[in-house]
A and B are shown apart, each in its own frame.
Chain A
């Protein structure tokens, strides 16, 4: 069965420090990968999505970046964190093109980032 791992679960960082959140998927190949941010426990904002290794699409201009060095690995980074980067970050994957469950997203457990 497929699983998604996301870490760290919680992170407290000072303003201006770097960030690296990691996400890996097991049990599937060629997944579509996504990073979402959820602020104040409500709506989700799509940050990045990837349909393949090295292919990253950015939805919102910001000081965050994403990379996909391997097929099932997705990394969210920042060189210098801002206070406004605080939030709950969610990694997700979906099947690419039909298959067992076309369209739906499978989410990790999230990473709560607090920037002080």
Chain B
């Protein structure tokens, strides 16, 4: 069975500094990986995904993520954090991208960006 781990409950970063939110995964085959963001009392919003191809994926709001197959990681990064990036971030893995089946989420990492 597939699983996702986000080892940090919380990440604190100063505005303007680079940020990294970590994610590792476990799947039996090739992974389909996603990052979502959630603002308070809202639904999740899709940020970016890795399906195949280039290991560096660029997404919304200046975020990017790097797929590392040997380390089974998919860390979310941004070169310069904004206060408005403060939110809850979820890494997710999907077990069958074409069959449309379930997506498994990590526990989430809360990002605080201080002005």
Contact = CB atoms under 8 A, between A and B. Distances in A.
B41 A112 contact: yes
A93 to B, nearest CB: 10
Given A102-B51, A103-B94, A103-B97, A46 B103 contact: yes
21 contacts: A6-B43, A34-B102, A42-B88, A42-B107, A42-B108, A43-B105, A43-B108, A49-B101, A49-B102, A51-B99, A90-B43, A92-B43, A96-B100, A103-B51, A104-B46, A105-B34, A105-B46, A108-B43, A109-B43, A110-B41, A110-B42
Interface of B: 32, 34, 36, 41-46, 49, 51, 88, 90, 92, 94, 97-108
Contact of B100 (A36, A90, A97, A107): A97
A100 to B, nearest CB: 12
Contact of A43 (B34, B42, B94, B106): B106
